[in-house]
Amino acid sequence: MDLIVSVNKPKDISSHDAVRKVKKILQAKKAGHTGTLDPMATGLLIICTNRATRLADYFSSLHKEYRAIMKLGEATDTQDACGRVIAKEDPSNIDSDRIKSAVNSFKGRILQLPPMFSALKHQGKPLYKLARKGIEIERKPREVNIYQIELLDINIPYVEFKAICSKGTYIRTLCDDIGKKLGVGAHLFELERTAVGQFCLSESLTIEELKSVDMEKLNCKGIYTKDNALSWMPELKIEMSLVKSIKNGVPIEVSRLSGISDEIKSARGIRIKSPGDELIAVASYRADKDTIKMDVVFA
């Protein structure tokens, strides 16, 4: 079955290990996640199976929501609690107004320098493997978007906050940068991903709960068909005469279609449905040719 599963990843296992467990439970031929969570982090991990793995990019591009606790006064080489402390300062004289001002200053479009301890690759090798050998590679800052950041609690040296951010944002780097802004250093102490786009943690399954799901019914929370998982995309139902062309990946001229709205033309993706309501492709509008281009086809 081609499924998308919303999993509540536990602490101290990698995202890869979570995928492996889900793949085994569902007896899937293929499986992959749509955005890494570090082993120390918990929370929402979207996993695609079989042909649904071809949709992974659509889910990875969605905004993410996190609940985080950072510890002021200690900077680490990994920017989180798993690393070695490389600098210490006394944070006891930092008042709540300074913390609030520093945290709020990172709202909006900002530049982040990707950490060395990350899965980003340099000449085919993950940066974290180089970092473990004491090798540091020059990285370029990347623009990310912090749509919302909200202080939840301050109990020095711990500061809890919620952040909604774009793809590619490192919350541990955000904590490190806030610590630098305050002049005392900081690192990510605890992290939970609470939402990915319209998917929320409360509607996810633990790995243990997934083991007891009746796969014949598929009526429980946390398990989605391709069509349901892409429900935020506008739908375009086509005539039977076009089904064969679409399944062959042929772009369709807009003049041959009806019901092409501005929403469809501006959408990140379009669900192409057969007259029988089957999802047969995910497409996008090409303004230069006034066509609907098939990006992913389920033949």
Query: Is 167 in the same domain as 48?
Result: no
Question: What percent of the residues of the chain are helix, what percent strand, and what percent coil, each to the nearest 5?
Answer: 25, 35, 40
Q: Could you tell me the CATH number of the domain that includes residue 274?
A: 2.30.130.10
Handedness of CA 255, 257, 258, 260 (dihedral sign): negative
User: How much of the chain exceeds pLDDT 70, in percent?
Assistant: 96
> How far is residue 39 from each of residues 3, 17, 69, 91, measured CA to CA in Å?
24, 9, 16, 27
Region of 197 please: left (phi>0), alpha (psi -120 to 50) or beta: left
Residue whose C-alpha is closest to residue 113's, from 168, 150, 184, 193: 168
Q: Which pLDDT score, from 0 to 100, does residue 208 have?
A: 94
Which pLDDT does position 104 carry in this prediction?
97
Span 168-212, pLDDT tens digits: 999 999 999 999 999 999 999 999 999 999 999 999 999 999 998
Do 129 and 152 share a domain, yes or no? yes
Asked whether 181 and 101 are in contact (CB, 8 A), the reply is no
156 and 131 together in one domain: yes
Q: Is the dihedral of CA 79, 82, 84, 88 positive or negative?
A: positive
Residue 38 designated active-site: yes
Catalytic residue among 2, 17, 38, 80: 38
Same domain assignment for residues 104 and 130: yes
Q: Once rounded to an integer, what is the mean pLDDT over residues 255-271?
A: 86
Among 188, 208, 229, where does a domain finish?
A: 229
State which residues form the domain around 26. Answer: 3-62+198-229
Residues near 165 by Cβ (< 8 Å), separated by ≥ 6? Answer: 63, 64, 65, 66, 144, 145, 146, 147, 171
The answer to whether residues 264 and 206 belong to one domain is: no
- Is the same domain home to 123 and 90? yes
pLDDT above 90 for 132: no
Per the structure, how many domains does the chain have? 3
Q: Could you tell me if 81 and 153 lie in one domain?
A: yes
pLDDT surpasses 80 at 121: no
User: Do residue 176 and residue 108 come from a single domain?
Assistant: yes
Q: Which residue has the higher pLDDT, 247 or 133?
A: 247
Q: pTM for this one?
A: 0.91
Q: 165 exposed, middle or buried (CB, 10 Å; 0-12, 13-18, 19+)?
A: buried
The total of other beta-carbon atoms located within 10 Å of residue 286's CB is: 13
Tell me which of 43-52, 55-64, 101-110, 250-259 is least confident.
250-259
Please, what is the end-to-end C-alpha distance for the chain in angstroms? 15
Looking at residue 260, its pLDDT comes to 82
pLDDT tens-digit readout, 207-254: 999 998 877 766 678 999 999 999 999 999 999 999 999 999 999 998
Residues 117 and 159 placed together within one structural domain of the fold: yes
Q: How confident is the model at residue 263 (pLDDT cuts 50, 70, 90)?
A: confident
One domain, residues 162 and 71:
yes
Q: How confident is the model at residue 138 (pLDDT cuts 50, 70, 90)?
A: confident
Does one domain contain both 265 and 157?
A: no
Q: What percent of the chain is modeled with pLDDT above 90?
A: 80
* Domain identity same for 88 and 157: yes
Half-sphere exposure of 284 (CA within 13 A, CB side): 10
Give the model's confidence band at 299: pLDDT under 50 very low, under 70 low, under 90 confident, else very high: confident
Average pLDDT over residues 49-59: 96
Q: What is the CATH number of the domain that holds 57?
A: 3.30.2350.10
Q: Give the residue-averaged pLDDT of 135-146.
A: 87
36 pLDDT above the threshold of 80? yes
**How many Å apart are CA 202 and CA 222, to the nearest integer?**
9
What pLDDT was estimated at residue 218? 64
The residue-averaged pLDDT of 65-75 equals: 98
How much is the mean pLDDT over the chain? 92
